[in-house]
Amino acid sequence: MSSKLRKQFNDHMEFHGLAHHTKRGYIAAMRGLAGHYNLPPDKLTDDQVRAYFRHLLLERKLAWTSCKNYLSGITYFYRHICGREVDDRFGLPPRPRSRKLPAVLSMEEVRRLLANIDNLKHRVILKTIYSAGLRVGEAIRLKPEHIESDPSRMVIRVEQGKGRKDRYTILSENLLAELREYWVEYSPEHWLFPGQKQENHISNVAVSQVLYAAKKKPA
């Protein structure tokens, strides 16, 4: 996506008061679409966008919720920047209904998954999610001061989690040791897990991509 088109998109979202994390997610969705075709997104046809969602679901095997996040950003772009509407959600099917319980990884499976990740930052954020029982959206918004490592407390403070409520979760000794190693190497400032730009936290999409890549690697 060209810098001019991106600025137009960002200015529109800014004017209409979209939340910062929403804007970042929408920009990331459009960057992914444009990068897939290596074409400006305003030049793509509806059929090309539909094919992209089939690619996300069938080839990249992204979760339906991740595709829904992409759909929100892409639909917003075409509706408000290009004046285009579609009535079929670009082919994204309804959320699949299932009575199955979500798959829960064993401790050994989690250990093998984390061992597949060479990047320290990526490994530590996934370990924080699994060890502390955090949602991805909670982990990416952690700040250094949320890690309370005093031996008498050993907790992680989660601000504005589900239901916009603050809560505390357990900080294990093992996770604390990795967080300290990560701190020495990265010296994070505002966000514990910053994105490419220090003033922004890592995106939900980026964490999903890290997990997807780790799952694909052989054990």
- Looking at the domain 3-91, which fold is it? DNA polymerase; domain 1 (1.10.150)
- Residue type, position 24, single letter: R
Report domain 107-216's class. mainly alpha
pLDDT value for 214: 84
Residue that has been written with the tokens 């994204």 in this structure: 92
- If we measure between CA atoms, which residue out of 94, 140, 133 comes closest to residue 110? 133
Span 168-210, pLDDT tens digits: 999 999 999 999 999 999 999 899 999 988 889 999 889 988 8
Please report, for the chain, the start and end positions of each structural domain, with discontinuous segments joined by +: 3-91, 107-216
Contact by Cβ (8 Å): 126, 120: no
> What region, left, alpha or beta, does residue 2 occupy, with left being phi > 0 and alpha being psi -120 to 50 degrees?
beta
In this structure, the chain runs to a length of: 219
Left, alpha or beta for 162 (phi > 0: left; psi -120 to 50: alpha)?
A: beta
Q: With a cut of 80, say whether residue 165 has pLDDT above it.
A: no
pLDDT in tens, 136-151: 999 999 999 999 999 9
- What pLDDT is attached to residue 166? 84
Distance between CA atoms of 85 and 79, rounded to whole angstroms?
Answer: 6
Mean pLDDT of all residues in the chain? 90
Q: Are 201 and 141 in contact (CB under 8 A)?
A: yes
pLDDT digits (tens, 9 = 90+) for 80-98: 999 999 989 999 999 887 6
